[in-house]
Amino acid sequence: MRSRTDPERFGDFFDGHYDEVLTYFAVRVRSPETAADLCAETFAAVLAGVARFDPEQGSESQWLYGIARNLLYRYWRDLRVQSNARDDLGIASSELDDDTAAMIARVDAEAQRSALAIALDQLPPSLRDAVEMRLLSELEYSEIAQVLGCRPGAARVRVHRGLRRLRSVMDGDSNG
């Protein structure tokens, strides 16, 4: 990837992926402003880290979505920390207007996503990676297999097992 030394190439890369990355965030955070911020951070990280891109580790698109996924996880973690801090300080909510109530509903939805991220962390790495690549990065089983070094059928099994265990963790079933 020559994007750092060739601004036109980075512009083409940006133009070719911007809408997809923005949509990736928009469906996960439900806030247009946050989605736009995360999208901008993703492309800034791509530009800053272009020297570290290794095509032997995966495609440019896979690398881009890996960066996006990491930024999204950091965002969810930060939300959880902020929420826990407010709870620890005993900051209570007051009467809310409709706009504030709608904003809180969005934050609650994001907290559910945060719970999902925590549940994902409880999966064994091979299952977690397969589930994340399929659901979050929206990779095909053949692409997942390439990254994991297995056959597409084995990648499909890992995703299935990971989803089954994830469901158990989310439902509080300790037998997972």
10 Å CB burial of residue 91 (0-12, 13-18, 19+) is exposed
Residue 68's Cβ-side half-sphere holds a number of Cα atoms within 13 Å equal to: 29
Torsional sign, CA 51, 61, 34, 40: positive
Average pLDDT of the residues of the chain: 79
Whether residue 94 has pLDDT greater than 50 = no
pLDDT at res. 13:
83
Mean pLDDT calculated for residue range 148-157? 92
- 116-125: Cβ within 8 A, 24+ apart: 116/166, 116/170, 117/73, 117/76, 117/77, 118/80, 119/166, 119/169, 119/170, 120/166, 122/169, 123/162, 123/165, 123/166, 123/169
Element (H, E) at 35: helix 32-49
The answer on pLDDT for 161 being more than 50 is yes
Work out the pLDDT band at 156, boundaries 50, 70, 90.
Answer: very high
* Confidence category of residue 153, pLDDT binned at 50, 70, 90: very high
The more confident residue out of 37 and 121 is 37
Which of 19-28, 105-114, 132-141, 166-175 bottoms out in mean pLDDT, i.e. has the lowest?
Answer: 105-114
In terms of pTM, does the model score above 0.75? no
Domains of the chain and CATH, by start: 1-101 (1.10.1740), 122-176 (1.10.10.10)
Question: d(Cα 29, Cα 23) in Å, to the nearest integer?
Answer: 10
* Contacts with 141 (C-beta within 8 Å, 6 or more apart), sequence order: 134, 152, 153, 155, 156, 159
CB distance 127 to 165 below 8 Å: yes
